[in-house]
Structure 1
Amino acid sequence: MINNQSTTPPEDKLKLSFWRRVLKFIGIETTPEHRWHVRLKPRFFILILTGIVIFIISLGGLAAYSTSPSFCRSCHIMEPYYQAWAKSKHSDVACVECHYPPGETKTILWKKFQALSQVAKFITRTYSSKPYAEIEDTSCLRSGCHSTRLLQGRVVSEKSVLFDHKPHLENVRYGRQLRCVSCHSQIVVGKHIEVTWDTCYLCHLKGHKEGRNIEPLGGCQGCHLLPSRTIKVGNITYNHKDFLGQHNIACQSCHQDVIQGEGDVPKERCLTCHNQPEKIDRYKETAFIHDNHVTKHNTACFHCHREIRHGASAAGTKSLAYDCAVCHTDMHDLQRNVYRGIGAKGVPPMPSPMYLANVDCTGCHIMEKKTTNWDLSHSETFTGNKDGCTNCHGKEYIGVLDEA
């Protein structure tokens, strides 16, 4: 007699029953008699369509989130840069608007690939602890941002400095093709992508001071507006126009100590980024280095150069001690103290009005004098004469030096 009962173990029957219920729930029905016969109900197609819609919405949401500053902030190493952006003038501009070029320069897929690659680096911990960004000029000059900046001509900055963007960006400046971020590289909190003034000083002042002579690139008034207001210091009143305009007095007659630093490039700075001997050997190839670092990769000047500082001393604070004092110890101490009006016991300070106005020693000591005293290591000095008085104060000061 043939046994028609199923030989399927009880536990397998339970499993089959469970999966049939699952399939039935999602709209797929099968029958025990016809195991491979499948019938799809409308519920199945509704669920599939719903899943596709949810996937598309999720994908779009993820794509939108990946372009938001919050996504950049999800990596802890980006927090200081996020804070710098959040408190800056660009806080209403998303990171990707600047860090990825606009339009067809780079496709959307390329941008998404970059975002995903950054996520992968973060998850695998293969990211650099010192992130570095390259921002192309097209991002800054795009429509709706700074598209008319090159047409504005000479503008006056917040520091009353004259500047024209067009020649700096369109022309090769002394062998260097500048980019927007050559000058706009500041990323400290609150000043994200603002002007790094030290870059201006490096280009305009490096190599343009020799001894007492200062000849900045473009001249002082190429950048600085001639002050129009009358200035009162102590018991004297003066206006720059009287000296620079009427008498054509050089700025360094009063502002001799406005430049500190050489802006040189120590060779060991190269080792900060490079360890290949063949790259270090090209240290003296200035044209190649500037083209490769500044023009092609937007490297900030001070990744390589030492700083040059530029600024005038506050009234009555000039030290009058120059590099000469490094070798000539205590030279002219008496003259400096008299000029500064250093007081003593029972004697109040009485600084010269010239000192209070920041007139440098070189403002009066203008007469070059050759010397035959071979004990000196230099063959010329500068002494005072009547022209040092009349150049600034006019002919009515003739004879004042003789009375001193």
Structure 2
Amino acid sequence: MHRIILIILVLVIVVVTGVITAEYYTAQPQFCGSCHIMKPYYDSWVKDKHNEKNVTCVDCHYPPGEKHALKSKFKGLGQLFTYLGTGTNVVRTPAKVSDLSCTTSACHPKEKFMDKKFQYTEKIPYVHNTHADKTIEGQALHCDTCHQHVRTEKHFEVPRMACYLCHFKEAKFNEGRAKCSLCHEIPVKPLQKLEEGAEPSQKTITHKTLEESKVSCESCHYQIIQGKGSIKKEGCFNCHEYSAEMLKKAEDKKSMHQEHVAAQNARCFDCHMPIEHREAEFMEVARKNCSACHPDHHAQQKMLIAGTGGKGTEQDYPIRHFNVKVNCFACHTLDDYDLKGVQVMKGNPDNCAACHTEDEKKLVKKWKEDVFDILEETREIEQEALKAIEEARGKVPDSRIQKALAMVAEGKENIKIVMAGGGVHNKKYSALLLDIAMEKFDDAMAELE
């Protein structure tokens, strides 16, 4: 009996010693690096400062108190079985690092690090708290939101592309979170030297003087921000099954950030296209961005074709072409030049006959003439209304003057649509808008009587 008890005791000691030894061995970075799919990550850790300070894999990848628990061992076994079952040779799912692992008293305690000023680069300072308090809707920033494994040679880093995405996406140039001075000091070096004999009134031009004079940074630096950080919806299906519902859900910014950023299930560029912040050919970038100088270009033409946007209308009056989805290229096929010599595609009346009859060619000219005649009449009544308002100042209450001005403003809006959009895009709707404009002008004059 004593022999059996002794044997059991020895076996227990052997098993416990084996478990302790195995637990210790499997918690060592060298064990992680022995798996070939983990080799690149191990090699980058060896060169990292965390290795120098003896911070091991389990110190970061498992929260405090969990690294020796069975749960952590099952996680490791899960990775092993995934590898054995699929034969994959890369890590498909990025590792999650709990904030608790980073902010322990032995590492980066919040009370010491959140308000401390760091140098991201030689010229760019960084304070954690200023970023933690300015999250985008749905986000909850974690340490590994910014500190990511991006390149094989570095275990993790803060990639500049991540900074650019948050600072520039849907932000106005040099405003708010995209303000240049948040990261850059305004240079004081002169941009040009004054010529000898220059007048005393001439001033040396520096970035500082330009800022004080409220000269837009876009004037010279428009090209340094390229890209919109758009969503790659096709990227959803690298992780999820395809569905129309998934595509629609991808437009819900709050939900997407909650499920991916806050829950640490994806990295920024799994979903977003990058935004670049670098020098580029300065004229071409501005020249090719039509909307920079022509915001909402051709909006009035679209309004006329769709029969929408006018003041005082009770319903939409689309042209028949709109209902069958005829677009600009159906009519605008002539290579021509505008008054400034800029090449444009002009409307070709011959295209009317291709769909309709030969007689339709003549209609375009007639529509233009008819709308022009109504427009001239409308502009004359507009001038009468404006004259009446000026003559009424000081003679009638200001409230009535303001009411008359509001009526005139609505009439002007209709004129603007017809003039900018070209009445030919929808003659009937153009005539209706001008009729309403004339009524507005008449009502304005009646208000002053």
Report the TM range for the smaller structure's normalisation.
0.5 to 0.7
- Indicate the SS of the match to 2:48: coil
For 2:70, the equivalent position in structure 1 comes to: 109
Letter in 2 for 1:306: M
Label 1:142 to 1:239 Cα distance change in 2 as closer, same or farther (>3 A).
farther
Label 1:168 to 1:58 Cα distance change in 2 as closer, same or farther (>3 A).
same
CA contact (8 A) 2:33 2:39 kept: yes
- Which of 232, 237, 245 aligns to 1:271? It is 237
For 1:253, the equivalent position in structure 2 comes to: 219
Task: Report the Cα offset of residue 133 of structure 1.
Answer: 1.3
- Which of 261, 277, 282 aligns to 1:310? It is 277
Q: Deviations over 1:228-248 (max 9, x none)?
A: 6x589999998654554x655
- Indicate the SS of the match to 1:204: helix
- Indicate the SS of the match to 1:306: coil
For 1:280, the equivalent position in structure 2 comes to: 247
For 1:201, the equivalent position in structure 2 comes to: 164
C-alpha separation between the residues in 2 aligned to 1:61 and 1:107?
Answer: 12
Task: Report the Cα offset of residue 100 of structure 1.
Answer: 1.0
Larger Rg: 1
Letter in 2 for 1:207: E
Structure 1 residue runs without a partner (length 5+): 1-37, 328-370, 380-404
For the pair 1:97 / 2:59, whether they are aligned, the reply is: yes
C-alpha separation between the residues in 2 aligned to 1:197 and 1:170?
Answer: 20
For the pair 1:87 / 2:53, whether they are aligned, the reply is: no
CA contact (8 A) 1:162 1:224 kept: no
C-alpha separation between the residues in 1 aligned to 2:137 and 2:59?
Answer: 31
Label 1:178 to 1:376 Cα distance change in 2 as closer, same or farther (>3 A).
farther
Letter in 2 for 1:96: V
Task: Report the Cα offset of residue 267 of structure 1.
Answer: 1.9
For the pair 1:173 / 2:173, whether they are aligned, the reply is: no
C-alpha separation between the residues in 1 aligned to 2:206 and 2:286?
Answer: 30
For the pair 1:54 / 2:14, whether they are aligned, the reply is: yes
Task: Report the Cα offset of residue 218 of structure 1.
Answer: 4.9
Task: Report the Cα offset of residue 301 of structure 1.
Answer: 0.6
For 1:185, the equivalent position in structure 2 comes to: 148
C-alpha separation between the residues in 1 aligned to 2:44 and 2:205?
Answer: 42
For 2:297, the equivalent position in structure 1 comes to: none
- Which of 240, 258, 273 aligns to 1:291? It is 258
Q: Deviations over 1:194-217 (max 9, x none)?
A: 1021111111111235xxx55362
- Indicate the SS of the match to 2:141: coil
CA contact (8 A) 2:62 2:97 kept: yes
Label 1:275 to 1:39 Cα distance change in 2 as closer, same or farther (>3 A).
closer
Q: How does 1:237-248 map to 2 (within 5 A)?
A: 240-241=207-208, 243-244=210-211, 247=213
Task: Report the Cα offset of residue 180 of structure 1.
Answer: 1.5
TM-score using structure 1 length? 0.59
CA contact (8 A) 2:161 2:275 kept: yes
Q: Deviations over 1:320-366 (max 9, x none)?
A: 32352589xxxxxxxxxxxxxxxxxxxxxxxxxxxxxxxxxxxxxxx
For 2:27, the equivalent position in structure 1 comes to: 67
CA-atom RMSD, angstroms?
3.8
Q: How does 1:33-44 map to 2 (within 5 A)?
A: 40=3
Larger helix share, 1 or 2: 2
Q: Deviations over 1:121-140 (max 9, x none)?
A: 34444768423212222122
